[in-house]
Every structure is written in C-alpha cells, then in structure tokens.
Structure 1
Amino acid sequence: MAYWLLKTEPDEYSIDDLRRENRGFAVWDGIRNYQARNLLRDQVAIDDEVLIYHSQCKIVGVVGRAVVVRAGYPDPAQFDPDSKYYDPKASADNPRWYCIDVAFNETFPRPLSLAAIKREPALEDMVLLKQGRLSVQPVDPAEWRHILQLADSHAA
C-alpha cells in the first residue's frame, strides 16, 4: 500500500462533495500535468490511502482522508468535446490523461493548515513543501503517520 496527497479546490470539488457522493466514490479526473498523470497511470493502486488537500481557499491544508477504489484508467473527460478537460489529441488507442476513483474515509475536525505542516521538522521533505504545485503527490509512510497524529492532536 502507498500513500498519496490529492489536491483540489473546494469551490470546484471539496471533501464534503466526496462525502456526499451517491455512488460511494468519485472519479478523480481532470488532472492535466504529465508528472501527476504518470503517478495516476503507473503507481496509484487500489487500497492506497489518500490525504485530501484543499488549495486556493481561505485555509489551505489537509482536510481529510480517502481511499483508492479503482486504479488509474483513461480519463473519459479527455474524449468528451463538451468537457472542459477535452483533449483533441487523445484517442482510445492512445489516451493522454488518466484518473482514479476514490472513496471518502473521513473529514478531519479541523483542517491541518499548510502553515502548521511547514512548522513540522518531520515533514520538511514532503513533496508538498518541495514541489507544491503538483496535484498528485506521494507521501512517505512516516510523513503519513505524522500528518494523522497532527490532525488528531489538532482536533482537540
């Protein structure tokens, strides 16, 4: 099992939206960065654990957890001319973009802010702090445990 951090803008899709999904899972699509695409296509697997991170909002940070329920597959939006994620260079024989399905696990009682994460020496090597703009990021198991401990203590 691996650990990941997925970024989302809560005005577009939030952890609350994920929690309310009628199907019990959401298609995590619209990723249009080649490095993130490669991670979705080649490394993210079923049962991997996910931190959900809200960006471009008042309190930027980790807000909860999810789990991968379907590993990487071609993002259907790339083939839909009516989608904002349409890619005319993509084809069924040669898809350019991938997505995954994730299921809600929990919302933290309070967001664990980016500022709080930056204050933690144990997290100084996180991809989040080194390559912040990447929307799909691996999380080291020790970093994962530390984040969950912080979220738990931050709730009190």
Structure 2
Amino acid sequence: PGIVGVVEIARAAYPDHTAFDPNDPHYDPKSDPNNPRWFMVDVRLVRHLDRKITLDELKACPELADLALVKKGNRLSIMPVEPLHWDFILSLE
C-alpha cells in the first residue's frame, strides 16, 4: 500500500447503483433504491506523485505518529488527513 497520486472529489456522494444489481459483485439485497445503504463519489486525478510513498515509510516517520492512518486497526481507504500531515507527506515525494 502507498500513495501514488492526488485526486479531488469531482461529484458529491450519490447512491451506488451497483448495490441494486443482483448480477453485480457489489450487490447488497438489503440496500433499497429509496433508502440506499451505499454511496459513491466520482474523483478526478489532480496529479501523479513523482514516486510511490509507501505505508511502511509513513509509519517510520515520527512526524506522523499521531496520524490515524499509521495506527493499527484503521481502514486505509477512508481516512481524514490534516493539512499539516498532508504537507509533510507530500514533502517526502
């Protein structure tokens, strides 16, 4: 795992249509189009990083010790990052 680029939200959250399709691997029979359980966003690439910044590298940085991303038990795909931490991460590039 690592950081390879920067994206921005191009479209705000909307119901994930794949949850309603029984032929889709993401189908959720408990999700109702009138009361969806799953949402998605569209993202737009801002830029690729010059190199991959690995999770191991981030975990080794004392400057990021209080960043939730590097603590055990956190889901890596959805994680808030404070501007101070983000600026530091980009400085590793």
Same topology, TM > 0.5: yes
Matched, 1:110 2:56: no
Q: CA deviation at 1:128?
A: 1.3
Matched, 1:144 2:89: no
Q: Which of 81, 91, 111 is matched with 2:22 structurally?
A: 81
Moved beyond 3 Å, runs of 4+ = none
Residue type matched to 2:57 in 1?
Answer: A
Q: Structure 2 unaligned runs (5+)?
A: none
The correspondence of residues 98-137 of structure 1 with structure 2, limited to 5 A, is 98-130=39-71, 131-137=73-79
Residue type matched to 1:142 in 2?
Answer: L
Q: CA deviation at 1:81?
A: 1.1
CA shift in 2, pair 1:103/1:135, >3 Å: same
Residue type matched to 1:135 in 2?
Answer: S
Q: CA RMSD in A?
A: 1.3
Give the TM-score, by structure 1 length. 0.55
Q: CA deviation digits over 1:44-71, x for unaligned, max 9?
A: xxxxxxxxxxxxxxxx211111110111
The correspondence of residues 1-156 of structure 1 with structure 2, limited to 5 A, is 60-130=1-71, 131-151=73-93
Q: Distance in 1 between matches of 2:70 and 2:59?
A: 7
Residue type matched to 1:125 in 2?
Answer: D
Q: Structure 1 unaligned runs (5+)?
A: 1-59, 152-156
Matched length:
92
Q: CA deviation digits over 1:24-58, x for unaligned, max 9?
A: xxxxxxxxxxxxxxxxxxxxxxxxxxxxxxxxxxx
**Larger radius of gyration, structure 1 or 2?**
2
Name the SS for the 1:137 alignment partner. coil
Aligned sequence identity (%):
42
